[in-house]
Amino acid sequence: MKNTFEINEKSHSSSAYLGTVKHHTLEGKLIIDALRREWKHRFAHTDENYRVVLKGRLGKDNPNAHKYSRAKYGWKGFGVGNSHQNIRLEDAAYADLYAYKRY
Protein backbone atom coordinates (compact mmCIF):
# COMPACT_ATOMS: atom_id res chain seq x y z
CA MET A 1 0.00 0.00 0.00
CA LYS A 2 1.26 3.47 -0.86
CA ASN A 3 1.83 6.11 1.77
CA THR A 4 -0.88 8.37 0.34
CA PHE A 5 -4.27 7.41 -0.98
CA GLU A 6 -4.82 7.59 -4.71
CA ILE A 7 -8.05 6.89 -6.53
CA ASN A 8 -7.48 3.78 -8.58
CA GLU A 9 -8.10 4.37 -12.28
CA LYS A 10 -7.31 0.76 -13.25
CA SER A 11 -9.94 -1.54 -14.64
CA HIS A 12 -11.88 -3.26 -11.86
CA SER A 13 -15.04 -5.28 -11.88
CA SER A 14 -16.84 -2.24 -10.47
CA SER A 15 -16.65 1.29 -11.83
CA ALA A 16 -17.62 2.47 -8.32
CA TYR A 17 -14.31 1.29 -6.81
CA LEU A 18 -12.23 4.16 -5.40
CA GLY A 19 -9.37 2.40 -3.65
CA THR A 20 -8.23 0.54 -0.53
CA VAL A 21 -7.23 1.97 2.86
CA LYS A 22 -6.12 0.70 6.25
CA HIS A 23 -9.27 1.91 7.99
CA HIS A 24 -8.04 1.29 11.56
CA THR A 25 -5.25 3.87 11.27
CA LEU A 26 -5.60 7.61 11.81
CA GLU A 27 -4.49 8.26 8.23
CA GLY A 28 -7.10 5.83 6.92
CA LYS A 29 -9.86 7.46 8.97
CA LEU A 30 -8.87 10.89 7.67
CA ILE A 31 -8.92 9.62 4.09
CA ILE A 32 -12.38 8.08 4.54
CA ASP A 33 -13.72 11.28 6.09
CA ALA A 34 -12.24 13.42 3.32
CA LEU A 35 -13.67 11.19 0.56
CA ARG A 36 -17.12 11.20 2.13
CA ARG A 37 -17.09 14.99 2.36
CA GLU A 38 -15.78 15.32 -1.20
CA TRP A 39 -18.47 13.07 -2.70
CA LYS A 40 -21.18 14.82 -0.68
CA HIS A 41 -20.13 18.30 -1.82
CA ARG A 42 -19.20 17.33 -5.39
CA PHE A 43 -22.86 16.90 -6.31
CA ALA A 44 -24.40 19.32 -3.80
CA HIS A 45 -25.84 21.54 -6.56
CA THR A 46 -27.26 18.71 -8.65
CA ASP A 47 -30.00 16.13 -8.29
CA GLU A 48 -27.42 13.36 -7.99
CA ASN A 49 -26.49 12.03 -4.57
CA TYR A 50 -23.63 9.61 -3.83
CA ARG A 51 -22.49 7.73 -0.76
CA VAL A 52 -19.07 6.28 0.02
CA VAL A 53 -19.28 2.68 1.24
CA LEU A 54 -16.60 0.66 3.02
CA LYS A 55 -16.33 -3.07 2.41
CA GLY A 56 -13.96 -5.14 4.52
CA ARG A 57 -11.03 -7.09 3.15
CA LEU A 58 -9.24 -9.66 5.31
CA GLY A 59 -5.71 -9.24 3.98
CA LYS A 60 -2.84 -11.69 4.27
CA ASP A 61 -2.46 -13.74 7.49
CA ASN A 62 -5.45 -12.10 9.17
CA PRO A 63 -6.13 -13.71 12.59
CA ASN A 64 -9.89 -13.40 11.93
CA ALA A 65 -9.78 -15.41 8.69
CA HIS A 66 -10.97 -18.54 10.49
CA LYS A 67 -14.40 -16.90 10.98
CA TYR A 68 -14.87 -16.90 7.20
CA SER A 69 -13.48 -20.36 6.50
CA ARG A 70 -15.63 -23.27 5.38
CA ALA A 71 -13.15 -25.74 6.79
CA LYS A 72 -13.76 -24.76 10.40
CA TYR A 73 -17.33 -23.44 10.45
CA GLY A 74 -18.94 -25.33 7.60
CA TRP A 75 -21.91 -23.21 6.56
CA LYS A 76 -22.18 -21.35 9.88
CA GLY A 77 -19.49 -18.67 9.43
CA PHE A 78 -20.14 -15.04 8.52
CA GLY A 79 -21.14 -14.90 4.88
CA VAL A 80 -19.90 -18.43 4.17
CA GLY A 81 -21.78 -20.17 1.41
CA ASN A 82 -22.18 -17.05 -0.69
CA SER A 83 -20.11 -16.37 -3.77
CA HIS A 84 -19.24 -12.97 -2.26
CA GLN A 85 -18.57 -12.66 1.45
CA ASN A 86 -19.23 -9.59 3.52
CA ILE A 87 -16.25 -9.15 5.83
CA ARG A 88 -17.01 -7.21 9.00
CA LEU A 89 -14.98 -4.03 9.26
CA GLU A 90 -13.94 -5.07 12.79
CA ASP A 91 -12.36 -8.24 11.35
CA ALA A 92 -10.89 -6.63 8.24
CA ALA A 93 -7.31 -5.43 7.88
CA TYR A 94 -8.27 -3.18 4.94
CA ALA A 95 -11.38 -1.50 3.61
CA ASP A 96 -12.23 -1.11 -0.05
CA LEU A 97 -13.99 2.18 -0.80
CA TYR A 98 -16.83 2.45 -3.29
CA ALA A 99 -18.98 5.43 -4.36
CA TYR A 100 -22.57 4.42 -5.08
CA LYS A 101 -25.30 6.63 -6.48
CA ARG A 102 -28.41 6.92 -4.33
CA TYR A 103 -31.71 6.58 -6.13
| φ, ψ of residue 18 in degrees (nearest 5) | -105, -40
Maximum separation of any 2 CA atoms in the chain, in Å: 51
* CA pair distance 94, 96, nearest whole angstrom: 7
Can you give the pLDDT at residue 24?
Answer: 93
Q: From residue 41, how far is each of 4, 37, 66, 86, 97 by CA, in Å?
A: 22, 6, 40, 28, 17
The most confident of 8-12, 51-55, 70-74, 77-81, by mean pLDDT: 51-55
